[in-house]
Amino acid sequence: MRDTRPPPAPLSEIGQRRAEPAPAINEAFDNFSRAVFAEGALPEKTKQLIAVAVAHVTQCPYCIQGHTRPAQRKGADPQEIMEAIWVAAEMRAGGAYAHSTLALHAMKETAPHTQP
């Protein structure tokens, strides 16, 4: 069976991304990220659980790994992490379900009309 996991992010490229070609923007993004995940009205654990869920919806494997670990470090247990993932799955499926009304409407508009 072929391994379909993404390769680990090469540390040399991560370092390069920080140093060039736009270090000021990279630093601003890092500061923004730290501010977003800092303790605030929502605890850090909750923010990381939200990030785990969003990472599953956006299907970013690096984000999944990169937010699952901090969620655990902030005290999230496996059940909380899995429940966050299930919330993401429901939201993703819910979008398809909710938008089905668009297809139903389109079918109704293009259906042949019968005359009485």
The domain ranges of the chain are 21-110
Residue in 44, 60, 62, 87 with CA at minimum distance from that of residue 8: 62
pLDDT digits (tens, 9 = 90+) for 27-67: 999 999 999 999 999 999 999 999 999 999 999 999 999 99
**Which of 99, 102, 98 lies closest to 110 in space, CA to CA?**
102
Q: What is the pLDDT of residues 90-110, one digit of tens each?
A: 999 998 999 999 999 999 999
Model confidence, pTM:
0.77
> Which position has the token pair 């140093």?
19
Distance (Å, whole) CA 18 – CA 32:
14
Place of tokens 């992490």: 81
Topology of the domain covering 21-110: AhpD-like (1.20.1290)
Q: How far apart are CA 28 and CA 106, in angstroms?
A: 45
